[in-house]
Homo-oligomer: A and B are copies of this chain.
Amino acid sequence: MFNKFMQEALNEAEKSLHLSEVPVGAVVVKDGIIIGRGHNLKETSNDGTMHAEIIAIKNACRNLNNWRLSDCDLFVTLEPCPMCAGAIIETRIRRVYIGAENANSGAAGTVYDILGKRSLNSTSDIYFGIMEEECKNLLKNFFEKLR
């Protein structure tokens, strides 16, 4: 079940890869159905907010016509940065399933502790290591080709 949705997030990440973007993908799931999808489009869109998670979250809000995603879970191939962690808090996403750790700017505890720090609005549970190898390898191959 977890792997099925992380595979969908990986499929999203592949779309970024084909655009020569850093391959990161995310899906938002409610009652076992994907209600939001996103892949990193920062370079293509020339918009620094266009990370996979932000796009998937905006997509989910639009589909539900609600900014509260408290019954929703997010699957993302890479640990969210502070911006995306903040968006997860703002929309009250219930659970966050993460593929690879983000040693540069991970905000679920690796560099910043935003998701972990339970403020009034934040109630997300965090699960690391979902299809970690696949998520890591996708990024590793991308950065190796870049060099």
Contact A104 B83 (CB under 8 A): no
Determine the distance from Cα of A120 to Cα of B106 in the docked complex, in whole angstroms.
13
A residues at B contact (CB < 8 Å): 42-43, 45-51, 54, 57-58, 61-62, 64-69, 81-87, 89-92, 104-105, 107, 111-112, 114, 117, 119-121
Residue of B nearest to A82 (CB): B86
- Jot down 17 A-B pairs with beta carbons below 8 A, ordered by A: A45-B67, A46-B64, A46-B66, A46-B67, A47-B61, A49-B57, A49-B58, A81-B86, A81-B89, A82-B82, A82-B85, A82-B107, A83-B84, A83-B87, A104-B120, A105-B119, A112-B117
Contact A61 B48 (CB under 8 A): yes
Known pairs A48-B57, A48-B69. 15 more at Cβ < 8 A?
A: A45-B67, A46-B61, A46-B64, A46-B65, A47-B62, A47-B67, A48-B87, A49-B57, A49-B90, A82-B82, A82-B83, A82-B89, A84-B86, A104-B120, A111-B119
